[in-house]
Amino acid sequence: MSIAHQLQAVKATLNEGVTLIAVSKTKPESDILEAYEAGQLDFGENKIQEMARKYEALPKDIRWHMIGHVQTNKIKYMASFVHLVHGVDRLKVLIELDKQAKKNDRVIDLTLQIHIAQEETKFGMDMDELMEALALEEELENVRIVGLMGMATNTSDMLVVRREFDHLRHLFEEHGAIRGWTVLSMGMSGDYKVAMEAGSTHVRIGSAIFGARNLA
């Protein structure tokens, strides 16, 4: 199936109101253009410089989502254009995003990445770090926390996955209701249906649209 067809097939399975972020990391610009011409505007990348190169080359109405681990020394390459930074997992990232957003005379929207998986290797904040980030946001003028992001354990046991996503939704409701949060970013190709059942607002889907990635 073509990318346009796969995109339509995925879209047909989304709950109403759920935003699809097409994860185009490692994929060529021609693949992104094909999805763009089929109507897709939100794309996700996990390397800042790769995203910046693609931003330069592609239509300017594309909304670029940084979904990967953020290295603070690279934030300057995306600060002028990034639409939403999903993987903010350290206070240092929050501070540097604020600084670079200020230089660009804008406000950068972000979600805090929370550690919900059992694996040690997945990035994300614990509860203490979440509270610190919420307190720090009050002092920063050029970043705005709009919600939470998380990645579930990589397992075929969907009960485990569901429990982890439910946990994230509870945190989202607990802290987001009074703050007007709008983004609960959870769900990838293998688990987005479970994520939507658990209340996801933004799903990040790569391989189901663009096909499998070559391992670098």
What residues line the site for ligand PLP (CB under 6 A)?
23, 25, 46, 67-68, 151, 188-190, 204-208
Phi-psi bin for 184: left (phi > 0), alpha (psi -120 to 50), beta?
beta
Pick 176 or 206: Cβ nearer ligand PLP = 206
User: To the nearest whole angstrom, how small is the minimum distance from the Cβ of residue 14 to ligand PLP?
Assistant: 13
User: To the nearest whole angstrom, how small is the minimum distance from the Cβ of residue 179 to ligand PLP?
Assistant: 23
Q: Which residues pair with 202 in a beta bridge?
A: 19, 185
Residue closest to ligand PLP, measured at CB: 206
User: To the nearest whole angstrom, how small is the minimum distance from the Cβ of residue 193 to ligand PLP?
Assistant: 12
Pick 122 or 163: Cβ nearer ligand PLP = 122
Quote the CA–CA distance of 63 and 115 in Å, as a whole number: 26
Pick 169 or 204: Cβ nearer ligand PLP = 204
User: To the nearest whole angstrom, how small is the minimum distance from the Cβ of residue 23 to ligand PLP?
Assistant: 4
User: To the nearest whole angstrom, how small is the minimum distance from the Cβ of residue 205 to ligand PLP?
Assistant: 5
Pick 142 or 155: Cβ nearer ligand PLP = 155
Pick 104 or 199: Cβ nearer ligand PLP = 199
